[in-house]
Amino acid sequence: MKKITETFSPEETFALGEKTGREAEPGSLIALIGDLGVGKTVFTQGVAAGLGITEPVSSPTFTILQIYEEGRLPFYHFDVYRIGDPQEMEEIGYEDYFFGEGLCMVEWANLIEELLPRDCTRITIEKDPDRGFDYRRITVESLAE
Ligand code: ADP
Ligand code: MG
C-alpha cells in the first residue's frame, strides 16, 4: 500500500497522525523519515493524541527513547538522530520495543535502516518550496494492501 497525503498546516499533519494513532494495531512500528523541521514530531504528537495520551510529547532527541503508558497501547517514541552507531540501540534494548505489544514510532528511522522490521510502515514527510512554507507531502507505505 502506498498513499500520499498533502497537508498545508501543522494542524492537518497532527490530524493525520491522530487518525494513524486511532487505527494503530498492537505490535506495529512506524518508521518516520524526513529532514529536520519537516514535521516528524508534530505527526508523532498527533499519533499520541490518537492513542489517548494526554501528557505532552516532545522530541526525545537527548534521550533517544520516551515511553508513554497511559494510552490505548503502550507508545514507544524513539528519535535516533543522535545515534552514533546501531550498537547504541542494542544497549537500549530496542528489540523489546520494536517487537513488543505497543506502537513504536521511530524518528530518523533511515539512520538505523538495518534494524527495521521488514513489515514496518514507512512514513516519509517532505517539503516542497514551490508549494509554500507550510506544505508537506506525507507518503505512507506498508506491506499491507
Ligand atoms: P521534526 O520532528 O521533523 O524535526 P517538528 O515536528 O519538530 O519537525 O517541527 C515541524 C515544524 O514545521 C513545526 O514548527 C511546525 O509548526 C512547522 N510546520 C509548518 N507546516 C507544517 C505542516 N504542514 N506539517 C507539520 N509541521 C508543519
Ligand atoms: Mg523531531
Q: What would the pLDDT profile of 17-28 be if each residue is shown by its tens digit?
A: 999 999 999 999
Give the chain's mean pLDDT. Answer: 94
Taking only the tens place, the pLDDT of each residue in 60-108 is 667 899 999 999 999 999 999 988 888 899 999 999 999 999 999 999 9
Top mutation candidate among 12, 13, 42, 138 for ligand 1, by most atoms within 8 Å of CB: 42
CA 30 to CA 119: how far, in whole Å? 10
Amino acid at 43: F
pTM for this predicted structure: 0.96
CA of 107 to the centre of ligand 1 (A): 13
Which ligand has the shortest distance to the CA of 37?
1
The per-residue pLDDT for 143 is 86
| Ligand 1 pocket, Cβ-based, cut-off 6 angstroms | 7-10, 12-13, 34, 36-42, 59, 107, 134, 136
The per-residue pLDDT for 68 is 97
Which grid cell is 41?
A: 514530531
